[in-house]
Amino acid sequence: GLTGQRGWTRAWRDRAPRPAYDVVIVGGGGHGLATAYYLARNHGLRRVAVLERGLIGQGNAGRNTTIVRSNYMLPGNREFYEHTLKLWEGLSQELNYNLMFSQRGHLALSFDPGFRDAFARRYNTMRMTGADGRWLSRSEVQARAPYLDWSQSARFPIEGGFLQQRAGTARHDALVWGFARAADARGVHIVQNCEVTGFLREGGAIVGVETSRGEIRAEKVALAVAGSTGPLAAKAGLGKLPLETHKLQAFVTEPLKPIVHQVISSARQGLFYMSQSDKGGVVFGGEIDGHPSYAQRGGLETYSEVMSKAVSLAPFLARTRLLRQWAGVVDMSMDGSPFITPTPIPGLYFNAGWNYGGFKATPASGWCYAHTIAHDAPHELNAAFSLDRFARGRELDEEAAGPVPR
Ligand code: FAD
pLDDT per position as a tens digit, 346-388: 999 999 999 999 999 999 999 999 999 999 999 999 999 999 9
pLDDT of res. 343: 97
Per the document, the length of the chain is 406
CA of 86 to the centre of ligand 1 (A): 21
Confidence tier at 307 by pLDDT (50, 70, 90):
very high
Q: Which residues, in sequence order, are bridge partners of residue 244?
A: 332
Residue nearest to atom 46 of ligand 1 (CA): 358
226 lines ligand 1 (CB under 6 A): yes
248 lines ligand 1 (CB under 6 A): yes
Q: Sign of the CA dihedral 16, 19, 23, 28? A: positive
pLDDT of res. 405: 67
Atom number of ligand 1 nearest to Cα 55 = 9
pLDDT of res. 230: 93
Residue nearest to atom 26 of ligand 1 (CA): 67
Within 13 Å and on the Cβ side, how many CA atoms surround 390? Answer: 12
The mean per-residue pLDDT over the stretch 43-63 comes to 97
Percent of the chain with pLDDT over 70: 99
The mean per-residue pLDDT over the stretch 174-181 comes to 98
281 lines ligand 1 (CB under 6 A): no
pLDDT of res. 269: 81
CA of 227 to the centre of ligand 1 (A): 7
The mean per-residue pLDDT over the stretch 30-37 comes to 98
286 lines ligand 1 (CB under 6 A): no
Query: Tell me: the pLDDT tens digits for 187-210?
Result: 999 999 999 999 999 999 999 999
Please check whether residue 191 is in contact with residue 52, taking contact to mean a CB–CB distance below 8 angstroms: yes
| 3-state secondary structure at position 86 | helix
Atom number of ligand 1 nearest to Cα 355 = 45
Alpha-carbon distance of 310 to 314, in angstroms, equals 6
CA of 228 to the centre of ligand 1 (A): 9
pLDDT of res. 246: 96
CA of 253 to the centre of ligand 1 (A): 22
The mean pLDDT value of the chain amounts to: 95
30-43 helix and 358-375 helix, angle to the nearest 10 degrees: 40
Q: What are the start-end ranges of the E strands in 13-145?
A: 20-26, 48-51, 67-68, 106-110, 134-137
pLDDT of res. 2: 67
51 lines ligand 1 (CB under 6 A): yes
- What's 14's DSSP letter? B
Residue nearest to atom 50 of ligand 1 (CA): 29
Atom number of ligand 1 nearest to Cα 30 = 51
Query: Tell me: the pLDDT tens digits for 119-158?
Result: 999 999 999 999 999 999 999 999 999 999 999 999 999 9
CA of 283 to the centre of ligand 1 (A): 18
Alpha-carbon distance of 77 to 115, in angstroms, equals 21
Atom number of ligand 1 nearest to Cα 249 = 34
Percent of the chain with pLDDT over 90: 91
The preferred substitution site among 225, 262, 276 for testing ligand 1, maximizing ligand atoms within 8 Å of CB, is: 225
Please check whether residue 332 is in contact with residue 244, taking contact to mean a CB–CB distance below 8 angstroms: yes
Alpha-carbon distance of 183 to 250, in angstroms, equals 29
Atom number of ligand 1 nearest to Cα 69 = 25
353 lines ligand 1 (CB under 6 A): no
Alpha-carbon distance of 180 to 226, in angstroms, equals 18
24 lines ligand 1 (CB under 6 A): no
Q: How far is CA 120 from CA 164, 212, 400, 406, in A?
A: 12, 52, 15, 18
ipTM: 0.99
Kindly tell me if the per-residue pLDDT of 403 is higher than 80: no
